[in-house]
Amino acid sequence: MGKAKQTRKFAIAKKIISPKDTRVQKNAEAAKAKVLAKKEKEEKPRHVEQANSALFFQYNEQLGPPYHVLIDTNFINFSIRKKLDIVRAMMDCLLAKCIPCITNCVMAELEKLGGKYKIALRLAKDPRFQRVPCNCKGNYADDCLTNMVKQWKCYIVATCDKELRGRIRKIPGVPCMYISGYKYTVERMPEAFGAPR
């Protein structure tokens, strides 16, 4: 059997989208908007955050005894599990007087957790613990603690949450306290007894 002949059709042009088509107009408008946004961005002055005056390179000069320690919910829970007295263990770790501080968001989180954590709530209401008012709209404790530390660099953050510790590490000059074994340990404070060597 022979090959079927393919005859070329005569005078057929390629189909072209008309310039008035909506698809073409949308693309042109999007390109114009992109160019305008780029131009605005170049003309606008950049906002550079002012460096904190308390920091001398990575060293925080506002930290000094008595240390103010912001406590997270899970830090209280793990301290109870490991049978550690919070104030005494902090003093053993930092070798100085410590004032544990609790924000309103952490207290709200402890109250939300219910009866399972009533010992932690009772411990948080101890008169040795200082209440720090925070003007947060929500009750998410991790965001509250990071905002407090960004505003005032005079706190040490005590938490066992790895995600929160990662967020705190990104803020320069703020030490982080956590539980390792049956004692407290502090990151980024070389003069502390519990600091990793």
Q: Give the H or E element holding residue 184.
A: strand 183-187
> How distant, in Å, are the alpha carbons of 4, 10, 161 from that of 7?
9, 9, 75
Residue 34's pLDDT is 92
Q: Give the H or E element holding residue 30.
A: helix 22-43
Residue 106's pLDDT is 93
Q: Radius of gyration of the chain from Cα atoms? A: 30
Q: Round to whole Å and give the CA distance between 104 and 85.
A: 22
Domains and CATH numbers, the chain: 61-187 (3.40.50.1010)
Q: What is the pLDDT of residues 130-176, one digit of tens each?
A: 999 988 887 789 999 999 999 888 999 999 999 999 999 999 889 99
User: Could you please report the per-residue DSSP string of 136-163?
Assistant: -SS--HHHHHHHHHHH-TTEEEE---HH
Q: Which among 58, 41, 79, 43 has a CA at the least distance from the CA of 158?
A: 79
Q: What is the pTM of this model?
A: 0.72
Question: What are the start-end ranges of the H helices in 44-169?
Answer: 73-81, 86-94, 104-113, 118-124, 141-151, 162-169
Return the SS3 of 105. helix
Tell me the average pLDDT across 95-124: 92
Higher pLDDT, 118 or 60: 118
Residue 189's pLDDT is 81
Is the pLDDT confidence value at 69 over 80? yes
Q: Which among 139, 171, 151 has a CA at the least distance from the CA of 73?
A: 139
Is the pLDDT confidence value at 16 over 80? no
Q: Is the dihedral of CA 161, 166, 168, 169 positive or negative?
A: positive
Cβ 178 vs Cβ 192: under 8 Å: no
As a whole number, the mean pLDDT across the chain is 86
